[in-house]
């Protein structure tokens, strides 16, 4: 059954399949009726707090029921949810919450130490609600319990924004990507044709819900009345147990997590007979991990390439194309475009389409492409062209109909499916008094795809050690953005105009490898 809007997903299935399981976290389950009623209460609560259509609410929490309840509740009155990456440092959270003009903020008590540092920097926030117990703020459980459970009857349109997800920008400041109903439902339609999801499907989601992959994959499952299963904290052993316990049919994750699941001893004896497919993205899968996964899970493997700006996925590498014996070259590809998606390779300088196996920027045209960035008209106009094409910033080429990604036009680092922009990390490192120049690059990492490396020119007579620089970064950046290694040098390679030549820095690490991204 296809819903017309995000809010209609839970409404429709609550009417047709009220007692079907909707979401399970850590072995506690809400049915579609439960989710419908609780999201109704959220909607009425937001109305009582003075919210109106177009307002933003913020959520800082790990995976759990409140993220879905506030999403569907917000949509039932035209409000847009902003789920904040809980791994961010306090100043990074402050920027996103301020940029998005959040009116009501839901914060899990685990993150109130962050909130204490930034609450005076959030002038738009009218009320803070604690997900858990806190002496100064109303408990989310009590707040939702005192609201009416009747449906507001609100219905949004196909072009109305339903999600605002933040993605890093080339300047180091995150951008709020606006996804409307049409965007997300277009991806869901294409994904349904690819994966064949059905009402009795059970999806194991190993991705965070602030991420487009975690959220939109979950909505894909719910659009068909399926059952989303996950944990608040990542626990590989527990997730392996869930495959049999909840008769998991589909999984969505990244290669690094697949590797962790395979390392669980119980994976060798678990019943995976219900499993139809595992989809991965964020980085290429190694041949070793793929062969182990095929032998252990005994299901099809799907590779996917996408971005927040395209509502998650663009291409698919099918199970038939995961053949390390007869078609090993395809494992370096990200597959072919999903149905309804057009792609072309464009020279980033001339903006002319290139053919053959010529490397250029990947451009995409699809109804799943975002309507733009929040409050960033110039960047929106540059990236989302008037003729409908989206400039991905990724460099690649076509070969026999398959897309191969070569590099990133904007130097982005992808580590464990998280995007890190060097400019953001460099800006923090340069705040240290012992640093005069800094260049941040991605280097190969066998588990996470890439690792963040900083190459620093210290000031004369500097005393700061690698450990001190790392600690300085950890106070100001999310852990995954902090350099894993730091090298001190006397000088950086520069162009005559004074720009750092980063490809020279990367060459040592990448010259004997096929440069791939996913």
User: What tens digit of pLDDT does each residue of 436-445 get?
Assistant: 899 999 999 9
Residue 497 predicted with pLDDT over 80: no
Residues 317-330 have pLDDT tens digits of 999 999 999 999 89
Residues 267-305 have pLDDT tens digits of 999 999 999 999 998 877 888 899 999 999 999 999 999
**E strands present in 411-510:** 413-415, 418-420, 435-445, 449-458, 485-488
Q: How sure is the predictor about 496, in pLDDT bands with cuts at 50, 70 and 90?
A: low
pLDDT higher for 82 or 395? Answer: 82
pLDDT higher for 422 or 160? Answer: 160
In this prediction, residue 418 carries a pLDDT of 86
In this prediction, residue 111 carries a pLDDT of 97
Contact status, residue 404 vs residue 397, Cβ threshold 8 Å:
yes
Q: What is the mean pLDDT of residues 402-428?
A: 85
Task: Return the C-alpha torsion angle 225, 191, 282, 324, nearest 10.
Answer: 120
Q: How sure is the predictor about 498, in pLDDT bands with cuts at 50, 70 and 90?
A: low
Q: How sure is the predictor about 495, in pLDDT bands with cuts at 50, 70 and 90?
A: low
Residue 169 predicted with pLDDT over 60: no
Mean pLDDT of the chain: 93
In this prediction, residue 427 carries a pLDDT of 86
In this prediction, residue 171 carries a pLDDT of 47
In this prediction, residue 518 carries a pLDDT of 44
In this prediction, residue 513 carries a pLDDT of 72
Contact status, residue 32 vs residue 17, Cβ threshold 8 Å:
yes
The pTM score is 0.88
Contact status, residue 337 vs residue 390, Cβ threshold 8 Å:
no
Residues 6-31 have pLDDT tens digits of 999 999 999 999 999 999 999 999 99
In this prediction, residue 514 carries a pLDDT of 58
Look up residue 132 and give its two tokens.
Answer: 């858990």
In whole angstroms, give the CA distance from residue 190 to residue 198.
14
In whole angstroms, give the CA distance from residue 61 to residue 69.
12
Q: What is the mean pLDDT of residues 248-264?
A: 94
Residue 140 predicted with pLDDT over 70: yes
- What distance lies between CA 455 and its chain's CA centroid? 28
Q: Is 486 helix (H, G, I), strand (E, B) or coil?
A: strand
Look up residue 165 and give its two tokens.
Answer: 């997800």
In whole angstroms, give the CA distance from residue 294 to residue 291.
5
pLDDT higher for 408 or 36? Answer: 36
In this prediction, residue 202 carries a pLDDT of 98
In this prediction, residue 282 carries a pLDDT of 81
**Counts for the chain of helices (H) and strands (E), in that order:** 15, 26
Q: CA-CA distances (angstroms) from residue 297 to 49, 273, 285, 375?
A: 48, 8, 15, 45
| Structural domains in the chain, sorted by start | 6-304 (3.40.50.12780), 415-510 (3.30.300.30)
In this prediction, residue 284 carries a pLDDT of 77
Nearest in space to 129 (alpha carbons), one of 121, 120, 137, 141: 137
- 222-248 exposure pattern, b = at least 16 Cβ within 10 A, e = fewer: bbbbbbbbbbeeeebeebbbbbbebbb
Residue 1 predicted with pLDDT over 70: no
């Amino acid at each position: 059954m296809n819903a017309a809007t995000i809010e209609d997903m839970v409404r429709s299935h609550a009417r047709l399949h009220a007692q079907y399981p909707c979401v399970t976290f850590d072995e506690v389950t809400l049915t579609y009726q439960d989710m419908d009623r609780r999201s109704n209460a959220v909607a009425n609560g937001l109305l009582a707090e003075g919210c109106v259509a177009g307002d933003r609410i913020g959520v800082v929490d790990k995976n759990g029921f409140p993220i879905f309840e506030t999403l569907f509740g917000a949509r039932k009155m035209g409000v847009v949810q902003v789920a904040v990456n809980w791994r961010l440092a306090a100043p990074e959270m402050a920027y996103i919450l301020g940029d998005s003009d959040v009116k009501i903020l839901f914060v899990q008590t685990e993150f109130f130490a962050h909130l204490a540092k930034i609450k005076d920097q959030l002038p738009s926030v009218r009320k803070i609600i604690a997900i858990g117990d806190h002496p100064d703020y109303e408990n989310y459980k009590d707040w939702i319990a005192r609201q009416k459970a009747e449906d507001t009857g609100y219905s949004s349109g196909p072009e109305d924004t339903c999600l605002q997800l933040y993605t890093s920008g080339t300047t180091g400041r995150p951008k709020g990507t606006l996804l409307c109903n049409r965007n997300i439902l277009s991806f869901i339609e294409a994904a349904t044709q690819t994966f064949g999801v059905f009402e009795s499907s059970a999806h194991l989601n190993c991705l965070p819900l602030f991420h487009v992959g975690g959220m939109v994959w979950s909505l894909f499952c719910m659009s068909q009345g399926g059952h989303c299963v996950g944990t608040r904290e990542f626990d590989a052993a527990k997730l392996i147990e869930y495959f049999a316990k909840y008769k998991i049919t589909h999984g969505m994750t990244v290669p690094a997590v697949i590797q962790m699941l395979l390392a669980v001893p119980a994976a060798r004896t678990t019943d995976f007979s219900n499993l139809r497919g595992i989809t991965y993205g964020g980085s290429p899968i190694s041949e070793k991990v793929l062969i182990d996964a095929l032998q252990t899970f005994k299901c099809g493997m799907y590779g996917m390439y996408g971005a927040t700006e395209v509502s998650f996925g663009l291409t698919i590498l099918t199970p038939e194309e995961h053949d390390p014996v007869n078609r090993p070259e395809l494992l370096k590809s990200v597959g072919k475009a999903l149905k309804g998606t057009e792609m072309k390779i464009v020279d980033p300088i001339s903006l002319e389409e290139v053919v053959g196996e010529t490397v250029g920027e990947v451009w995409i045209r699809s109804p799943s492409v975002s309507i733009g960035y929040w409050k960033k008209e110039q960047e929106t106009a540059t990236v989302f062209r008037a003729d409908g094409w989206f400039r991905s910033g990724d460099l690649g080429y076509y070969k026999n109909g398959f897309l191969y990604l070569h590099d990133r036009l904007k130097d982005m680092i992808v580590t464990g499916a998280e995007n890190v922009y060097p400019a953001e990390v460099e800006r923090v490192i340069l705040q240290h008094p012992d640093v005069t120049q800094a260049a941040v690059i991605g280097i190969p990492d066998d588990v996470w795809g890439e690792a963040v490396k900083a190459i620093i020119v210290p000031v004369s007579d500097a005393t700061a050690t690698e450990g001190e620089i790392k600690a300085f970064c950890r106070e100001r950046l999310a852990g995954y953005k902090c350099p894993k290694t730091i090298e001190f040098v006397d000088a950086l390679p520069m162009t005559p105009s004074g720009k750092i030549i980063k490809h020279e820095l990367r060459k040592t690490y990448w010259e004997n490898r096929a440069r791939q991204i996913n």
